[in-house]
Amino acid sequence: MSTETETQGGGAPKLKLGALTALVVGSMIGGGIFSLPQNMAAGAGAGAILIGWVITFFGMLTLAFAFQMLANRKPEVEGGVYGYAKAGFGNYMGFNSAWGYWISAWIGNVSYFVVMFSALAFWFPVFGEGNTTTAIVCASILLWALHFLVLRGVHGAAFINTITTVAKLVPLALFILLVIFAFKVDTFNLDFWGSTKLGSVVDQVKSTMLVTVWVFIGIEGASMFSSRAENMKEVGKATVIGFLLTIALLVAVSVLSLGVMTQAELAALKNPSTAYVLEKAIGPWGANLMNAGLVISVGGALLAWTLLASEAPYLAGKDGVMPKVFGTTNANGSPAASLWLTNGLIQLFLIITLFSSAGYLALLSLATSMILIPYLLCAGYALLVAKRGEGYAQGESSGKEFSIATIASVYGIWLIYAAGLKYLFLSMVLYAPGLLFYLWARKERGEKAFTGPEAVLAALIVVAGLFAGYELLTGALTL
């Protein structure tokens, strides 16, 4: 699999299959996989965990196939979750998809910085929980180093991301190999369906779904860079390959750990729990290996998400649904204005973590739910494309892809429900201010801001945002 970029016709370098796949894997595999054994075992036994992974596999596979189908059937639509939402549901929904994705991405990056320096505290206690003064100063230095790296060119940063993605897979592969040798069937079978305090099997399966909602964020990585891809078909391939590789790692890490430690022991671990699982399997150096792996993994994810976060406002600005300044690039082809805004906000929130870590964590929970709406819109657009038969040859059936898109849409609704309908409501607090940017962009172009239905939707979002904000201030609702 090639990881190089090519320049065609003297234009900007194009991302090839290897680099696109690395963007998918690199954005999905961050810090979450290193905490997965404890996160899954906290609410479920081995049997329920296996059922949860089967449901997740088929649900996320249909979403991956939906992205692949759209890349093949609608190659003219660029920009992934933004482009598909705009093509399917209009300018305002496209803007909201880009806005929600962007906010979720950059606030998620704040968490990566905190997690990285919390892991480094394993060797350097001065970093504490990742939000000490020393940790924030070092995180800020790393933030701006990544910033200037991306300013030098997206294709160069994507190549480095490929290298870091390969590097992060090494400790995970070692973990799986070593845990296989330490695996005990008796330990795995002990209380296979979970103790009574975990609730029914259905409740246990639901608890696993709440975890898997988050570990697959990033599956859209290749489609977000479709405008920079060498070939649209490779965007779809990269999405499916990245998904299959990632789910294999996630299932192996969570399930094999149940053969080293019991469900109760895993549930009681601190995170990153993989460090303690490997320590139990092979001794103290196992903890060192996994903490080092976490630092490498999160470092790679930071680069991937720096690229993804800055790409969303750039694509929307280029199309005129965000202010045009965000749709510009520098001489190296990097979305400079978008990058400065994104990393400036990350810097602000890093400083906030010094004074109010609780407030930051609450906002993180709220913002992460915002990314699920763009996923649902993409699945919905795939359903529309298949239903209308767009992009199909004469006489070619769209039945199979219609079924896949239907399942992906249902799964998208399930993800929002599993994450919590309360968070969907509260996310309007963050969606509502986006209206100002949208109106700014439409005024620049001298175009009508809304269609009739869009105006109603905008009003509902603003009203819901104001009401949710009031409920938060009065304490009627909490995060």
Residue 272, preceding peptide bond in cis (omega within 30° of 0): yes
Given a cut of 60, whether residue 9 has pLDDT beyond it is no
Q: Where are the alpha helices (DSSP H) in 356-398?
A: 357-368, 372-388
* Each residue's pLDDT tens digit, 436-449: 999 999 999 898 88
User: Contact at 8 Å (CB) between 382 and 408?
Assistant: yes
* Each residue's pLDDT tens digit, 385-418: 999 999 888 888 889 999 999 999 999 898 888 7
Rounded mean pLDDT of 306-324? Answer: 88
Given a cut of 70, whether residue 99 has pLDDT beyond it is yes
Element (H, E) at 91: helix 91-120
Given a cut of 80, whether residue 5 has pLDDT beyond it is no
pLDDT at 340: 95
For residue 102, being part of any structural domain is answered with yes
Instruction: Read off the pLDDT band of 307 (50, 70, 90).
Output: confident
Burial (CB < 10 A; 0-12, 13-18, 19+), residue 331, is exposed
pLDDT at 227: 73
For residue 220, being part of any structural domain is answered with yes
Determine if the pTM surpasses 0.85.
Answer: no
pLDDT at 2: 37
Cα–Cα distance for residue pair 337/293, rounded to 1 Å: 33
Distances (CA, A) of 43 to 75, 287, 369, 460: 42, 24, 21, 36
Cα–Cα distance for residue pair 62/210, rounded to 1 Å: 18
- Rounded to an integer, what is the distance from CA 324 to the centroid of its chain? 26
pLDDT at 208: 85
For residue 451, being part of any structural domain is answered with no
pLDDT at 405: 95
Instruction: Read off the pLDDT band of 379 (50, 70, 90).
Output: very high
Rounded mean pLDDT of 136-155? Answer: 90
Percent of residues, the chain, with pLDDT higher than 70: 94
Instruction: Read off the pLDDT band of 459 (50, 70, 90).
Output: very high
Given a cut of 50, whether residue 6 has pLDDT beyond it is no
User: Contact at 8 Å (CB) between 149 and 160?
Assistant: yes
Q: Which residues contact 260 (CB under 8 A, 6 or more apart)?
A: 179, 182, 183, 184, 187, 277, 280, 281
For residue 333, being part of any structural domain is answered with yes
Given a cut of 90, whether residue 122 has pLDDT beyond it is no
- Which domain CATH number covers 241? 1.20.1740.10
* Each residue's pLDDT tens digit, 240-279: 898 999 999 999 999 999 999 999 999 998 878 999 999 9
For residue 187, being part of any structural domain is answered with yes
Q: What is the mean pLDDT of the chain?
A: 86
Most confident of 198-207, 335-344, 414-423: 335-344
pLDDT at 363: 65
pLDDT at 1: 36
Instruction: Read off the pLDDT band of 8 (50, 70, 90).
Output: very low
Backbone angles phi, psi at 13, to 5 degrees: -60, 145
Cα–Cα distance for residue pair 95/84, rounded to 1 Å: 11
Given a cut of 70, whether residue 362 has pLDDT beyond it is no
For residue 176, being part of any structural domain is answered with yes
Q: Which of 16, 103, 90 is nearest to 449 (CA)?
A: 90
Residue 228: give the domain boundaries: 13-417
Total number of domains constituting the chain: 1
Burial (CB < 10 A; 0-12, 13-18, 19+), residue 176, is middle
Backbone angles phi, psi at 15, to 5 degrees: -80, 130
For residue 292, being part of any structural domain is answered with yes
Greater pLDDT, 22 or 95: 95
Rounded mean pLDDT of 378-382? Answer: 95
For residue 106, being part of any structural domain is answered with yes
Give me 26's structure tokens: 């690199």
Given a cut of 80, whether residue 4 has pLDDT beyond it is no
